[in-house]
Amino acid sequence: MKVAIYSSTTQESQRLKRMIIQGLEQNQIEYDEEHPTVVISIGGDGTLLSAFNHYQDQLDSIRFVGMHTGHLGFYTDWRTFEVFDLIESLKNDSGQSVSYPLLNVDAKFSDGTKKHFVALNESTIRDMVKTMVCDVYINAELFERFRGDGLCISTPTGSTAYNKSVGGAIMDPKIVGFQLGEMASLNNRVFRTLGSPIIFGADAVLTLRLNDDSTAVLSCDRTQLMLGNTRHLMELTYSVAKQQIKFAKFRHTNFWLRVKDSFIGGES
């Protein structure tokens, strides 16, 4: 086992990082930030998203562990007072993991360039200047012409994030698929969209084709792609990624308990 720590810059996160590194040394567990097999994220869900992005080219060989220093997050299982329990779990680790699907994002631009992204939570396409217009294709068949503020395409685990705020459904993370949610779509006698979230299966391909004068902005998780005046987005293609994110299974909180704690709370 080789362990790396990816932490936020807060004083508490840095203190915990030092404690864990000391515990790893005492238990002869190798610390390796370049090629780890386990990455411990200390902070919140945002920190884990950054850790995922940092180690994205090594997902096949890495399992993630989340320790939160703030509010309970969907990707963080361990609390600040459980450092020694975490070290003990690492010592006795059997290599088991739980995996969740990711989202492929392929973008084409007006100057002929292309970019590829992998999202853990979601990708959004929005126009802050004017109504966004794009044709929505499902498996290469035209489905609708969307007009509105934008669209949110989320993974099952990301369905509790921005997707939920735009009226999307919460998906069981055991489902291999992704979801399309609308942002303030225009629906009247002239313009019409489905007006509800769409959940796609593992083999579906979603394509969005934008107008030539589009000023839409693309985001993938915490990364926003800013474009200049010389090029704009022409086409986006979404599908389930071949890669998955893996979390160490020595403790991984039940997804629906996370949903209850985060959005309902209290006694039922």
Query: Which residue among 45, 77, 127, 221 is the active-site one?
Result: 45
DSSP letter string over 10-77?
SHHHHHHHHHHHHHHHHTTPEE-SSS-SEEEEEE-HHHHHHHHHHTGGGGGG-EEEEEESSS--SS--
Q: Is-catalytic flag, 45? A: yes
> DSSP code of 220?
E
Measured CA to CA, the distance from residue 95 to residue 61 in angstroms comes to 11
Query: Are the CB atoms for 19 and 67 separated by under 8 Å?
Result: no
3-class SS of residue 81? helix
Instruction: State the helix-helix crossing angle for 11-26 and 83-91, rounded to 10 degrees.
Output: 40
Catalytic residues: 45
